[in-house]
Amino acid sequence: MSETITAAPSAKTEAAGVQQLSMQQALNRALDEVLAANPKAVIFGEDCGRLGGVFRITDGLQAKHGEDRVFDTPLAESGILGMSVGLAMAGFHPIPEVQFDGFAYPAINQVVCQIARMNYRSRGTLPMPITLRVPSFGGIRAPEHHGESLEALFAHVPGLKVVSPSNPHDAYHLLKYAATRPDPVIFMEPKSRYWQKGPVDFTTTDHNPTSDAGTADSGHLTGARVAREGRHLTLVAWGAMVSRCLQVAELAAEDGIDIEVLDLRWLKPIDAAALARSVGKTRRAVIVHEAPLTSGLGAEVAQLITQSCFATLKAPVERVTGFDVPYPSGDLEDEYIPNIDRILFGIQRVLEYRRG
């Protein structure tokens, strides 16, 4: 179903500290290095041990690090997250996996009432250094409950940090960074991008644990990333939609429209300074996400843009999103997930807007 870490980079890329890896391989390597560096790190979830997970993200880790460091759990998400709380209290750094995003719903009580609140409730005596990995979003034509967009739900909860990588390099460094945090991090992995290959630079210090997420320095993994420079309009996206927005930008360039693509990466805290810089330059913005429109995270992003760029915006901020219906099963995904045409129409509406 996926590839294990057997990539054989060329001597040139290996010497430069850069390898071509899939996101699955990059995440696997990051977890391997976290386990090696931190004896208190433990990985667990449904099929995470012997099988290596449905998407093989933990492939080979149990054999290498032992059954007490990487292990399987019963089919009970509330138990997985409840156990994470107890392990964190005991001084461990749990890295649980919820097998699919739709399976997270039974564990929401543990996430909201315990993981997110325990540090606050204990006045800092019981931090929750938990990195919850959640294979997220659609695009793999899976059955119902196997594709969801829960970012707005998690981002709404005080005490949680939320992050979603869009490429192998960011996946590797963001996961290593998240695994050093004293706070709970919801790590939303775009499952449709697991097999996308790209360069991973192992020489960068982007995941320096002395930095804080949400800083204004978009050159580091603690903030947003300009995935493509542009002048006429900013597309804001995260996770799997970043790749789609880059495709749209290339098509728009054929008509002379220069699109900037901003990969938000951190969904909580949001890098408001990066939004202000990008939209302050282009003066137009379209936000793209898979989740439903109403109360989606795009509304929060739009407010941050309006707050900082109101005086210079040439058009209202547009959103191109999923529909206000339950996330459909695989045979209807193509109709639900924002496609290239819908994003291009959103861009057209913004570019053609004229004040009354």
Write out the two tokens for 230.
């542009």
Q: How many CB atoms lie within 10 A of CB 11?
A: 7
Q: Which of 93, 146, 220, 232 is labelled catalytic?
A: 146
* Residues facing 233 on adjacent strands: 259
The CA distance from 239 to 352, in Å, is: 28
Active site residue 232: no
Give residue for tokens 């790209």. Answer: 198
Report the number of secondary-structure helices (H) and strands (E) in the chain: 13, 14
Contact between 81 and 115 under an 8 Å Cβ cutoff? The reply is yes
The CA distance from 330 to 138, in Å, is: 8
* Residues facing 186 on adjacent strands: 132, 162
The CA distance from 190 to 135, in Å, is: 6
Write out the two tokens for 356.
């009354």
- Interacting residues of 213 by C-beta distance below 8 A, sequence separation 6+: 161, 163, 181, 222, 223, 266, 269
| Dihedral sign, Cα of residue 193, residue 70, residue 37, residue 91 | positive
**DSSP string computed for 330-356:** GGGHHHHS--HHHHHHHHHHHHT----
Write out the two tokens for 237.
């996206």
Contact between 217 and 274 under an 8 Å Cβ cutoff? The reply is no
Helix axes 23-37, 168-178, angle to 10 degrees: 20
- C-alpha distances out from residue 163 to 96, 183, 236, 273, Å: 15, 13, 15, 17
Give residue for tokens 């309009």. Answer: 233
Catalytic residue annotation? 146
